[in-house]
Every structure is written in C-alpha cells, then in structure tokens.
C-alpha cells in the first residue's frame, strides 16, 4: 500500500453473499481505473466467505491498482483443532491486513484482552492489524471519550505485549488504529472532525507519535475531506468506511474527496 496517501478501507461486513462481493469488487476496480484511483490508496475487507475469491480477482485481473485486501477478523489461537477459527497464518497470501476489535465484535462479547491476543497473532504472522477502538455514549464529555478509548487501548496493548507483541513490533507491522465512535456507526451522522483529530492525538499520546490513525463512523463523500485538516499529533491517515463502501460510486466519491481519485 502507498502509505503516503490517505488510506480508504472498505469494510463490507456481512452484507453481501460472496458472489455479489466478487461482482462488486470487479465494478469498483473497473471504476477505479476509469477514475484514476492512485495505486495503493484503497483496501477492501470482504466477508470470510468472499475473502478468497475477491483477493483472487484483484490479484489476477487488477494487480496494477494495488487494491489491498483485509480480513474482518482473525483467531487468537494457533492452528489446530479449533472448529470455526481462522488462524492468522492461514490468511497469508490472501490478505495483507486484518480488522481486529471492531465494535460489532465487541458487541458480541469480545474483550480488549482477547483483541490484544488476536493482534499479537496477526503481527507474528506478518499481517498488518487494523485495530478498532471507540467510545460508546452519544452524550459524553471530551474527557470521558478520551478516557474510554485510552482504557481500551491500554488494555489491548497490554494484552498484546503479554503475548509477545511490543509497541515496536506494532509499529514495524504498519499497524493502523481506527477510531470509530460507536454512537455514529450507521447513524448517518459522523463525528466532528475536531473530535476525531483530538482522539487521534490522545491515542498517539498513549502509544506513539508514529501510530497511524483512521476514522470510521458514517463516512460520506460530502464530509470526508475535513477529517484531514489536522496536523501533527491530531492528523488522520485514512478512513474506515462501512455502508458507503457497498456502492462503487459512493466509495470512489470518498476517494475523490481525499484526493486519491478523480
């Protein structure tokens, strides 16, 4: 991936069956070529069933676009007799990254301790983690939001460290931290860019100035650009997009707003 560009990560969640995911990936790739998408500025996270065919299509027919592929989750366990699990090493050659700790996984009971273990497995396997953190209350003070996210980060980073994955290892793996305010996801209204920038600074204060931060939460093209007005510790390095990524037009409109497509 071209890390000098804002990175757009499309999280398709479990919205489409795998055949439709392949079709959508093809449409996005063709539209991306037509609109001059800059190589390395887009990553797609299909469902578990769509991961292999989507990755195969992009590698086989659209390699020049350098569209990355991410898994939506990974196991905290090593390969073995664990029915239904997806070990990190089994993703090699298919996905280069993996989303870990999305709020929708937390809502199903996943803890920051488990997330840290998954992060350690991903890094050890050579995958780039996209670690999600976020505040939950629609009405809260800035200090309360910062404290909630910092607590999540401290717990998961501590868990990863106990599993042998240091902060240095996280940075070397190209780790991305996605700030996703849970109250904004699916609401149609994103967080204020100033809040997102402040959260980026708070995350870096608790980790490293070099940590790369994404924003995710009801992102639309009309209000994407202001998220990149920040500088220094409050800068953002990309966007994690959910619902808007299910349309090639809306996804590439966001890319255009970021300056990575026409």
Reported as a single tens digit per residue, the pLDDT across 112-149 is 999 999 999 999 999 999 999 999 988 899 999 999 99
Indicate whether 187 pLDDT > 80. no
Specify whether 249 is catalytic.
Answer: no
User: 28-37, 92-101, 144-153, 186-195: which range is least confident on average?
Assistant: 186-195
Look at residue 115 and tell me if it is in a domain.
yes
pLDDT grade for 183, boundaries at 50, 70 and 90: confident
Look at residue 148 and tell me if it is in a domain.
yes
Specify whether 102 is catalytic.
Answer: yes
Q: Which of 180, 205, 223, 249 is catalytic?
A: 180
Look at residue 121 and tell me if it is in a domain.
yes
Q: Which of 21, 102, 104, 110 is catalytic?
A: 102
Look at residue 26 and tell me if it is in a domain.
no
pLDDT grade for 247, boundaries at 50, 70 and 90: very high
CATH number of the domain enclosing 133: 3.20.20.70
**What pTM was computed for the model?**
0.96
pLDDT grade for 186, boundaries at 50, 70 and 90: confident
Look at residue 43 and tell me if it is in a domain.
no
Look at residue 19 and tell me if it is in a domain.
no
DSSP class per residue in the chain: --TTSPEEEEE-TTSS-HHHHHHHHHHHHHHHHHTTPPTTSEEEE--TTTHHHHHHHHHHH-GGG--EEEES---SS-SSS-TT---GGGGTTT-SEEEES-HHHHTTT--HHHHHHHHHHHHHHTPEEEEEE----SS--HHHHHHHHHHHHHHHHHHHHHTT--HHHHHHTT-EEEE--TTTTTTS-PPPHHHHHHHHHHHHHTS-TT-EEEEESS--GGGTGGGG---GGG---EEEESGGGGSHHHHHHHHHHTTS--
Reported as a single tens digit per residue, the pLDDT across 1-37 is 545 678 999 999 999 999 999 999 999 999 999 999 9
**How many domains would you assign to the chain?**
1
Q: Which domain holds residue 78?
A: 73-257
């Amino acid at each position: 991936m071209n890390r000098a560009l804002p990175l757009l990560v499309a999280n398709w969640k479990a919205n489409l069956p795998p055949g439709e995911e392949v079709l959508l990936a093809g449409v996005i790739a063709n539209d991306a070529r037509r609109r001059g998408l800059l190589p390395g500025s887009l990553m797609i996270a299909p469902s578990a069933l769509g991961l292999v065919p989507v990755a195969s299509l992009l590698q086989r027919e659209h390699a020049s676009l350098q569209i990355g592929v991410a898994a939506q989750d990974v196991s905290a366990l090593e390969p073995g007799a664990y029915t239904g699990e997806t070990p990190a090493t089994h993703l090699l050659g298919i996905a280069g990254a993996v989303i870990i700790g999305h709020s929708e996984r937390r809502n199903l009971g996943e803890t920051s301790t488990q997330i840290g273990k998954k992060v350690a497995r991903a890094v050890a396997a050579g995958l780039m983690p996209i670690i999600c953190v976020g505040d939950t209350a629609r009405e809260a003070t800035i200090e309360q939001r910062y404290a909630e996210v910092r607590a999540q980060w401290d717990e998961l980073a501590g868990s990863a460290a106990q599993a042998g994955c240091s902060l240095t290892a996280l940075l070397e793996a190209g780790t991305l931290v996605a700030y996703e305010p849970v109250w904004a996801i699916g609401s149609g209204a994103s967080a204020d860019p100033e809040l997102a920038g402040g959260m980026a600074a708070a995350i870096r204060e608790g980790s490293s100035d070099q940590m790369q931060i994404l924003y995710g939460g009801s992102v639309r093209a009309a209000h994407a650009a202001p998220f990149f007005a920040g500088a220094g510790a409050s800068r953002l390095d990309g966007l994690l997009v959910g619902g808007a990524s299910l349309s090639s037009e809306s996804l590439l409109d966001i890319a255009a707003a970021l300056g990575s497509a026409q």
